Chains A and B, each alone.
Chain A
Amino acid sequence: DAGITQSPRHKVTETGTPVTLRCHQTENHRYMYWYRQDPGHGLRLIHYSYGVKDTDKGEVSDGYSVSRSKTEDFLLTLESATSSQTSVYFCAISPWGPGNTIYFGEGSWLTVV
């Protein structure tokens, strides 16, 4: 158990509405990541963070923003949800920094209708 909690675990929302997914960790690790997983695409990096207020874009960041005001929380926001953002979202942490082993949360299933 890597001490990662994602919320909500399941959500259905309407197109055009804002959505925020939360990732909470109990270990105070610096490095946190948001990935999305879609059939045929595997896991793709959305955003990552190397500390409080230190975030950067990943491969598929368009339409997403993140915030990290506390070490333990990494928030992913869809400003105006679209059907193409229907996906499973995984948060991950790395105790040892970039390129090393990462530990995943259990995922958040988001459906945009």
Chain B
Amino acid sequence: SQQGEEDPQALSIQEGENATMNCSYKTSINNLQWYRQNSGRGLVHLILIRSNEREKHSGRLRVTLDTSKKSSSLLITASRAADTASYFCATDAQAGTALIFGKGTTLSVSS
């Protein structure tokens, strides 16, 4: 099935640095979403960007969407140890069905 693929699989940075993770997908979408998962917990919605939007901000998060390249990026600025988590992109490529998730990027932020 169509699925977003995050890159890199794992990312380790120092507190204060920026973290960038990418998502590529295969077919046309209506929107793309990013979720975060802390260890042992359920996923939490971070941000949704629609196909007619190119960039969206929420606090320290910046999401871009390039529909021509079928890709999205999530930038976390000034990372904190509390940002340590797995991050997933999700797409709605098939109208009327559920979100399809990628395999995630594991971010580790050390102090």
Contact = CB atoms under 8 A, between A and B. Distances in A.
Contacts of B99: 45, 99, 102
Interface string A80-106: 000000000010100000111111111
Contact of B96 (A35, A44, A45, A98): A98
A33 B33 CA distance: 17
A58 B88 contact: no
Contacts of A44: 101
Nearest to B89: A42
Interface residues of A, number: 24
Interface string A38-55: 001111110010000000
B98 A106 contact: no
B98 A33 contact: yes
B43 A104 contact: yes
Given A41-B103, A42-B102, A45-B98, A101 B41 contact: no
B78 interface: no
Interface string B72-111: 0000000000000000100010011111111110000000
A73 B92 CA distance: 24
Report, nearest first, the 3 A-B pairs whose CB atoms are least far apart.
A99-B92, A104-B42, A42-B103
Interface of B: 1, 3, 30-31, 33, 40-45, 48, 88, 92, 95-104
24 contacts: A33-B98, A42-B101, A42-B102, A42-B104, A43-B43, A45-B98, A56-B97, A59-B1, A59-B100, A92-B43, A98-B92, A98-B95, A98-B97, A98-B98, A99-B31, A99-B96, A100-B31, A102-B45, A102-B98, A102-B99, A103-B45, A104-B44, A106-B42, A107-B41
